[in-house]
Structure 1
Amino acid sequence: MRSRVIISLVAVALVTCASVRAADDSPSPSPTPSPPAAAQAAPKEQAKEPSPPPSVTVIGARDAHGILGRDVRSAANEDMGRIVDVIVDRDGKVRAAVIDFGGFLGVGSRKIVVDWKALRFAGVNNKSDSIVLDLNKQQVSAAPEYKEDTPVIVLGAAGSLQPWDYEH
């Protein structure tokens, strides 16, 4: 029922946007005189067409979840930390996740970067569910620490990493 209400509200918003746009496109009731010759010689500022309404996508509550702050566990149920950031390349493709690993209550922890393909989201149904990492605690503890504005060293599951071109 709730999703039908949301879809109905979205439909009303789109119809309203379309009717406002149609009203803007209708001819004005009185003709506008042409500008004087001096105004025509000035650089033309073209009237911008109104931009089209944004597209709308409805994603079911069970189909997508936020991941920042989510617990990460190994396949053996070892605590691997929490996701604190996501790394994308210049094309906007998600490449890796930054995990705050080790320590206790944030003390003594360090950030490491794991390949996005090494994470498993299949069992994530609500906020209390953990994301599973295809690496064990020993492998992750050997990873170098992530520091912003330096080349990113990404730890991945065996055979899943691809070269990542970057410029200094």
Structure 2
Amino acid sequence: MTTPSGHTSAIQASRVIGTEVYNTEGRHIGSIENVMLDKMSNNIMFAVIGFGGFLGIGEKYHAVPWASLDYDPGHNGYVVPFSKEQLEAAPVHDISDLTGDGTRVRDDAYTYYKVPPYWI
């Protein structure tokens, strides 16, 4: 089965992790470090996108609602519909912030990016 944009509706997490991410201006902004799963609702909470840093030092992580990412074969990566300024002003986390249940991070991300929550 395919999504409305023509993509398949299922993908292995191992194929997603490490994929590059670009903004609407075509600028490379980072890569997907992980995906957080919501065990209670069987949904993806958010993608963890690593920005900046070198060899993991100084890197910050953004939680981006999964529904905001769209795979673009031309970039061989995901594109998010956010400007450079929106991404720079987005909530930023240390990797330790993303452990635990993740609901605070999820709620902050969906509120900031104005994405309708899947859990309501």
Per the TM superposition, whether the score is higher than 0.5 is yes
Q: Which residue of 2 aligns with 1:154?
A: 109
- Give the fraction of aligned pairs with identical amino acids, expressed as a percent: 27
Do the aligned partners of residues 156 and 98 (structure 1) sit closer, same or farther apart at CA in structure 2, a change above 3 Å counting? farther
Higher relative CO (Cα under 8 Å, sequence separation at least 6) belongs to 2
TM-score (norm 1): 0.50
Q: Alpha-carbon deviations, 1:83-138, whole Å to 9, x = none?
A: 011122222211310100123443322011001111111x238xx71211111222
Larger Rg: 1
Structure 2 residue 37 is the aligned partner of structure 1 residue 88: yes
Q: Name the structure with the higher strand share.
A: 2
- Structure 1 runs of 4+ aligned residues shifted over 6 Å read none
Number of residue equivalences? 101
Q: Which residue of 1 aligns with 2:3?
A: none
Do the aligned partners of residues 84 and 107 (structure 1) sit closer, same or farther apart at CA in structure 2, a change above 3 Å counting? same
Q: Which residue of 2 aligns with 1:133?
A: 80
Q: Which residue of 1 aligns with 2:65?
A: 115
Q: Which residue of 2 aligns with 1:6?
A: none
Q: Which residue of 2 aligns with 1:124?
A: 73
SS in 2 for 1:139: helix
SS in 2 for 1:91: coil
Q: CA shift at 1:144, angstroms?
A: 1.9
CA–CA separation in structure 2 for the residues paired with 1:159 and 1:110: 21
Superposition pairs of residues 1-168 of structure 1, within 5 angstroms = 64=11, 66-89=15-38, 90-121=40-71, 123-124=72-73, 129-146=76-93, 147=97, 148-149=99-100, 151-152=104-105, 153-155=108-110, 159-162=114-117, 164=119
C-alpha root-mean-square deviation of aligned residues, in Å?
2.9
Do the aligned partners of residues 163 and 117 (structure 1) sit closer, same or farther apart at CA in structure 2, a change above 3 Å counting? closer
CA–CA separation in structure 2 for the residues paired with 1:117 and 1:124: 17
Do the aligned partners of residues 77 and 119 (structure 1) sit closer, same or farther apart at CA in structure 2, a change above 3 Å counting? same
CA–CA separation in structure 2 for the residues paired with 1:157 and 1:77: 21
CA–CA separation in structure 2 for the residues paired with 1:103 and 1:156: 26
Q: Which residue of 2 aligns with 1:7?
A: none
Is the Cα–Cα contact under 8 Å of residues 98 and 111 in structure 1 kept in the other structure? Answer: yes
Unaligned runs of 5+ in 1: 1-61
